[in-house]
Amino acid sequence: MELRHLRYFVAVADEKNITRAAERLNIAQPPLSRQIQQLEEELGVVLIEKGSRPLRLTEAGRFFHAHAQELLDKAQDLKAMTRRVGKIERKLSIGFVASTLYGLLPEIVRRFRDRYQTVEISFHELTTIDQLKALKEGTIDVGFGRLKGEDAAIRRIVLREEPLIVALPVGHRLTQQPGPLRMSELMDDPLIVYPKTPRPSFADQVLATFRERMLVPRQVIEVRELQIAIGLVGAGQGIAIVPDSLQGMIRTDVVYRPIDDRQAVSPIIFSARAMDRSQELADMLAIIYEIYEERHIAYVPEAL
Ligand code: BEZ
């Protein structure tokens, strides 16, 4: 059995259709069917139920699918890591969700640059889900995102649970109220959430925060990105729930207020390829925890 067989089988299982799988793999359909047949013969088990449309996996097929995907991810990881080890120059490519840029990310990178001047750093703004893909493809080496999730090919560390705050248009009645706001006080205004796609996203995290408290916002407006959400708040179209670090985005038409609920948080998650134990990643993590300590920011102790 070769990696090619795993790749072919995973494509067929994902697409549930031989024609679409062949297109995805850029090969003709008859050789693809032959390879799947060979694989079943070699394993001595049926992986795909005969005659099913769309194609359905047998129990053995489902088992094989899950593990084949894991092996393919590991092979990809191995390729990216070996290339990296073989390169003389030191590089670190960082994926980040926009909100982290208004928080500690610039300071972390400044400190890293000062300390490790020979490492070439590049940046890619990516949603958490796109970061996972970019890590597997080797486009980025580390991602800073906000969605929790399981993926055997990715090492994920929850750095901290960042408080959520509310962004209100200047002059809004709630800006006059002293003290933190309760979530139940935020029901009357349209709620602007981002990003619209891909899902799940930070938008779902915010909507879940309301749902968990049995609260239903009057109207939800989904927008493409953070800057648009804040711009619309400034224009008086509604309110937005955002991470605390957004206070770094200073606008004269938006007022930020804390929320009176310790559970209203959004995690900041470090993601890297599971096998990647490079010095650059260790140095970056050390700087992050150093800054948390200096600023007395509550963080989740690294669970390694
Ligand atoms: C933070 O705000 O905790 C953070 C932001 C970006 C990268 C790492 C940590």
Nearest residue to 53 via CA among 100, 28, 107, 16:
16
Indicate the class that CATH gives domain 163-264: alpha beta
pLDDT at 89: 63
Are 85-159+266-295 and 163-264 equal in CATH topology? yes
At 52, is the pLDDT very low, low, confident or very high (cuts 50, 70, 90)?
confident
- The answer to whether residue 261 scores a pLDDT higher than 60 is yes
For ligand 1, atom 8, the nearest C-alpha belongs to: 105
Tens-digit pLDDT profile for residues 225-245: 999 999 999 999 999 999 999
**Backbone φ and ψ of 52, nearest 5°:** -75, 140
Question: What is the Cα–Cα distance from 264 to 186, expressed in whole angstroms?
Answer: 13
Compute the average pLDDT of residues 126-145.
Answer: 92
Parse the chain into domains and list their residue ranges.
Answer: 3-82, 85-159+266-295, 163-264
Unique residue bearing structure tokens 């006059």: 176
- Tokens found for residue 249: 């985005």
β-strands 191-193, 240-243 pairing: unpaired
pLDDT at 31: 93
For ligand 1, atom 7, the nearest C-alpha belongs to: 105
Q: What is the pTM of this model?
A: 0.77
Mean pLDDT of the chain: 92
Atom of ligand 1 at shortest distance to CA of 103?
Answer: 2
Note the Cα 55 to chain centre separation in Å: 30
Compute the average pLDDT of residues 162-169.
Answer: 97
Superfamily of domain 85-159+266-295: Periplasmic binding protein-like II (3.40.190.10)
Question: What is the Cα–Cα distance from 269 to 281, expressed in whole angstroms?
Answer: 14
Tens-digit pLDDT profile for residues 108-126: 999 999 999 989 999 999 9
- The answer to whether residue 98 scores a pLDDT higher than 80 is yes
Query: Which range, of 79-93, 121-135, 250-264, averages the lowest pLDDT?
Result: 79-93
Question: What is the Cα–Cα distance from 149 to 168, expressed in whole angstroms?
Answer: 31
Indicate the class that CATH gives domain 3-82: mainly alpha
Residues near ligand 1 with C-beta < 6 Å? 100, 103-105, 108, 144, 159-160, 245, 268, 288
